[in-house]
């Protein structure tokens, strides 16, 4: 198969030898990362992350704590919010209401976090 060269600056397009070799099966998966982390540090990655978060609280590291909290909220917020939509004749209105309630719940969580940060 002949590689095509894009006209113009010469940037972009396929290049011979680039990318993962055809038929390669060496992919890094989340499972690989978690098991390797466990074997290296002797505990699960989740436990290690939460210990780091605990240490930021103990050491009054506000910036570090914010990084951990953002990461943890990003990973858990979707599962924390349960949105129920009842069968109605106007499904769009029901979706808008559910979305508004979800935004309100997220803002409540953020306000609680801000209040905790202000008291620290």
119: its two tokens: 């008291």
Rounded Cα distance between 40 and 17, Å, is 34
Query: For position 102, what pLDDT does the model report?
Result: 86
pTM for the full predicted model: 0.44
Rounded Cα distance between 38 and 35, Å, is 5
Per-residue model confidence as pLDDT tens for the chain (120 residues): 455 555 555 667 777 877 777 777 777 888 888 889 899 999 998 899 999 999 999 999 999 999 999 988 888 877 766 666 556 567 778 778 888 888 888 888 777 766 666 666
């Amino acid at each position: 198969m002949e590689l095509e060269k894009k006209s113009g600056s010469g940037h972009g397009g396929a290049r011979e030898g680039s990318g993962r070799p055809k038929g390669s099966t060496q992919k890094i998966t989340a499972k690989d990362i978690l098991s390797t982390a466990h074997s290296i540090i002797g505990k699960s990655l989740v436990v290690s992350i939460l210990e780091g978060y605990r240490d930021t609280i103990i050491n009054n590291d506000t910036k570090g704590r914010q990084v951990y909290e953002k990461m943890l909220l990003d990973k858990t917020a979707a599962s924390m919010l349960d949105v129920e939509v009842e069968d109605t004749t106007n499904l769009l209105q029901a979706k808008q209401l559910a979305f508004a309630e979800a935004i309100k719940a997220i803002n409540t969580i953020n306000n609680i976090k801000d209040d905790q940060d202000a008291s620290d």
